A and B are shown apart, each in its own frame.
Chain A
Amino acid sequence: MKQIYLDHTATTPVDQEVVDVMIPYLSKVFGNASSAHNFGRDAKVALENSREIVAAHINCEPSELYFTSGGTESDNIALMGVAQKYKSKKHHLLVGATEHHAVLETAEFLHNKHDFKLSVIPVDVDGFISADSINKLITEKTFLTSIMLANNETGTIQNLKPLVDATHAKGALFHTDAVQAIGKIKVDVKELDVDLLSLTAHKIYGPKGIGALFVKQGVRMEPLFYGGSHEKKRRPGTENIAGAVGLAKTLEIAQRRMDADHAMLLELSEYFIAKVKALLPDVYLNGPMTNRIPQTVNLSFQGVEGESLLLGLDLKGVAVSSGSACTSGATEPSHVLQAMGIDKVISQGALRFSLGRSTTKDDLDYVISVLPEVVNRLRDMSPIYNK
């Protein structure tokens, strides 16, 4: 059976070019970057070279970039670290309603267990946030606003600058989870004017287990981990050199391919959306048609459960996702679609197709050839779908 992977927003295969540059750092160059001897120095040089490349990609200073294990850890360090530092003076934080759980659950933890005040910023039907919404919620006691750059379920690209300005106007810091944006669109921390930014490698053909947190010079925070002076004590633990080297190469490749990939994915996703809508009635695109990461296509099939559709497609060799991979097993429809005010029944029929570099028109044509059969079978059995 054909196997077609349309879940590139969950994770991606590692580019061979990335694998090749990592291999020596898994064997020959094995030193501990903190060691004073020659072995350590070789590792340290590789680490710092990688830091420069990653920093250049987002236009920050290498000294402002901290390697972590990935997006979830970066988000945790950002929120908890800043909260710890500011708690004696400020106790309020703002997060977007459609954030990844790495941000939402961390914010809820701060609220539930550490008495921070938490406000959730509403979004419009396409997932966008207005500066006005921030102005309504922000106070002198707010220490941080956290809003993602691109959404993992719908691909919505937030226009951050006005939101950052509204936050800074009240003297609060701004964090963005850029995990779904990095490498796919231009991310420049100076243009965005953010204070903290999370990124990871594995969503863009890099290895799992490596990411980074940008912390603007002058931002004060407490570490989450203790136990050494690695990453200037902000993230102790023996450095993952192979990972850092891999992340740097991943971003180099992403930079090189960005425009071409973007154009290709836009064309394919528009083709796919149009074809599916032409073949099946009552199909809706969740999220905007423009200002969207083109690889992420979130479609609702009215009258069916996304979970059933996902399993039906898996049995046909098509790998997709309902909601985010991190929430599979949740009882409620996606919090992202709910926040966007999308009807509960329609949200339950949502499925995320996410395309990637290896996706071809043939792949999509295969999906288009099996999708109606699965959808129609489920609709025939559905107690809520009226034909």
Chain B
Amino acid sequence: MAKKVLVAMSGGVDSSVAAFLLKEQGYDVVGAHMKLWDYVEVGGDIYKDGRCCTIDSITDCRVVCDAIDAPFYVLNMSRHFRDTVIEDFISEYDKGRTPNPCIQCNSNVKWTEFLRKAEELGCDYIATGHYSFIEQGENGRWSIRKGVDVTRDQSYVLWGVSQDALSKTLMPLGGLLKSEVREMAHKYKLRTADKAESREICFVLDDDYRRFLIEMAEKNDKSYVPGEIVHADGRVLGQHKGTAFFTIGQRKGMGISHPTPLYVQIIDIENNRVVVGDNDTLFKSELVADSLNWIAIEPQSEPFDALVKIRYLHDPSEATVIPQGDGSVQIKFKDSQRAITPGQSVVFYDDQTLLGGGLIVS
């Protein structure tokens, strides 16, 4: 009997083609759209195009599934998403960190709750439209390798996926270029062929996370406390409306005038201060990370060299990863890196293969 796979469909071209390819390969395909949030909760304009979780994108998924003769369902996971991803997003900013909600979503919603739903439906696998390969290595571990189209690589946000979950995951687009995927969508007349993609935070519709934090705070009778913006040399330069509205390396939106450009260096929540300084002082060669998850390799106890990436749009840089024995790692870069940001993820690669990752603490 054909293996059954639940394809996570956003309404975009990638997941549409993923579903199509799996069907071609003989899988028993079921399409599903995760409804993760609602406009009533997160604010924003219901009539804005091009996002997942809108009625229009659900319709797109439905039409694509109909075209490939696959059942399609909307899975309501909004409560789960709110309790994990959105809560974490808000509380991380409260802690002076800069969260990456896509990673939380992958680790705690897609590869947990969605996988559970798939198993409930009697599916053997889940599948996504990521441009990566999933392979089992000689050591028996499941790894994620960057796809042929490295410009579409999203492995950075996949470091938190468990081994068990990876063993049940298919990513059929690993061997394709984005242009080929679009071509294929055109050829087979999938209606999502020309859809634009979005890379922003899906539940912050206007890309203004500060507006989002303020609205959510108002709903919860919470307020952000104003404080001082100070120079690293001790001078008070101005006022801020809450430390949550800042991220390391930020230059704009501080409302202070200074003869030289200033950048956020430290978010000091204990003293409710934002410390700023020159660009040079943003460069550091070390970081500490915890909450580790190992992908291609067993949990390590000895130092090893790797290519290390500290944010989504960062070129992997040479470094040594030094396990600390307490579950955290210290990372020493060959060259110092700009704006190492607590709350962001640090991910280790061996060439194209994802070895593991963690959350930056300091």
Contact = CB atoms under 8 A, between A and B. Distances in A.
B72 to A, nearest CB: 10
Contacts of B121: 308, 311-312, 315
Interface in B183-233: none
B35 A329 contact: yes
Given A315-B30, A329-B35, A381-B116, A307 B122 contact: no
A22 B44 CA distance: 44
- What is the predominant secondary structure among interface residues of chain A facing chain B? helix
A307 B75 CA distance: 8
Contact of B79 (A311, A331, A377, A381): A331
B73 interface: yes
B122 A377 contact: yes
B59 to A, nearest CB: 13
Contacts of A331: 38, 76, 78-79
Interface in B109-158: 116-117, 119-122
A331 B119 CA distance: 21
Contacts of B176: none
Contacts of B35: 329
Given A315-B71, A329-B35, A381 B120 contact: yes
A131 interface: no
A171 B74 CA distance: 46
A311 B79 CA distance: 19
Contact of B120 (A328, A330, A377): A377
A314 interface: yes
Contacts of A307: 75-76
Nearest to B117: A308
Interface residues of B, number: 16
Interface in A329-387: 329-331, 377-378, 381
B74 to A, nearest CB: 6
Contacts of B30: 315
Nearest to B73: A311
A329 B76 CA distance: 6
A378 B78 contact: no
Interface string A312-330: 1011000000000000111
A315 B117 contact: no
Contacts of B38: 331
Contacts of B79: 331
B74 A328 contact: yes
Contacts of B117: 308
Contacts of B122: 312, 315, 377
Contact of A312 (B78, B116, B120): B120
Interface string B235-260: 00000000000000000000000000
B51 to A, nearest CB: 16
Nearest to A373: B122
Nearest to A316: B122
Interface string A152-172: 000000000000000000000
B339 to A, nearest CB: 37
Most buried by A among B75, B76, B120: B120
A329 B38 CA distance: 10
A165 B78 CA distance: 43
A104 to B, nearest CB: 15
Contacts of A312: 120-122
A329 B35 CA distance: 8
Nearest to A330: B76
A244 B122 CA distance: 46
A385 to B, nearest CB: 13
16 contacts: A307-B75, A307-B76, A308-B121, A311-B120, A311-B121, A312-B120, A312-B122, A314-B71, A315-B122, A328-B74, A329-B74, A329-B76, A330-B76, A331-B38, A331-B78, A378-B120
Interface of B: 30, 35, 38, 71, 73-76, 78-79, 116-117, 119-122
Interface of A: 307-308, 311-312, 314-315, 328-331, 377-378, 381
Leading 4 A-B pairs by shortest Cβ distance? A308-B120, A331-B78, A331-B79, A311-B73
Given A315-B71, A328-B74, A329-B35, 15 more contacts: A307-B76, A308-B120, A308-B121, A311-B73, A311-B120, A314-B73, A315-B121, A315-B122, A329-B76, A331-B78, A331-B79, A377-B120, A378-B120, A381-B116, A381-B119
